[in-house]
Amino acid sequence: MKKTLLAALAVALAAQTATTGQTQTTTTTTTTKTTVKTVPQALNMYVFPSQGQSSSQQSKDESECYYWAVNNTGLDPFQLKQKAQSQQQQANANQAYASQAGAGYGARGAAGGAAGGALIGAIAGNAGAGAAIGAASGFIFGRVRARQDQSNAQESANAAASGAQATAEQLANFKKAFSVCLEAKKYMVKY
């Protein structure tokens, strides 16, 4: 009887809490302001119209110079940034996998080795010795595999760092080409 009463009381309390939670829920909406960056702003560049060009003329000139720089360098800086981010995410994922997986390789290898060693030892007449030998060799093989995975993750991180450096150099070349075009159109450019 007591258990039934306690269960009924718990259900009633849960229903009251759920109802109270639902009545206290309010919805608020906020408006977000979206700002559109110009090409120079996105590339951390500053462009000043030294001949008093209008903002519409400056936008037109920046657009023309952007396409000119893309055609002459063969690079689109926005695709470069996406590629660099993708490479960095892959390197981070590989590093995380290696660090997580490496922690259990020795123990899993030891357990698997002990089971196999016990089976072979039982056939040979000494299951305990077989399990001990199997556990030791399984642990060693597990640690070797963990080191290989960590080495592969380090190589991936090094490749990502090398790719980031190459991307930075390509971006610098694009900025030079973009600047040359804008300077020819009488703008001052700094980056």
Q: Where exactly are the structural domains of the chain?
A: 38-190
Q: Which of the residue ranges 19-28, 77-86, 176-185 has the most confident prediction, judged by mean pLDDT?
A: 176-185
Q: Which of the residue ranges 88-92, 105-109, 127-131, 169-173 would you say has the lowest mean pLDDT? A: 105-109
Tell me what the mean pLDDT of segment 68-77 comes to. Answer: 94
Q: Which of the residue ranges 31-35, 39-43, 50-54, 84-88 would you say has the lowest mean pLDDT? A: 31-35
User: What band does 73 get if pLDDT is binned at 50, 70 and 90?
Assistant: very high
H-type alpha helices, the chain: 2-24, 39-42, 55-73, 77-124, 127-184
Query: What secondary structure letter does DSSP report for 50?
Result: T
Residue with token string 């229903």: 15
| Burial tier of 95 (Cβ tally within 10 Å: 0-12, 13-18, 19+) | middle
Nearest to 95 by CA among 161, 149, 165, 162: 149
User: What band does 185 get if pLDDT is binned at 50, 70 and 90?
Assistant: very high
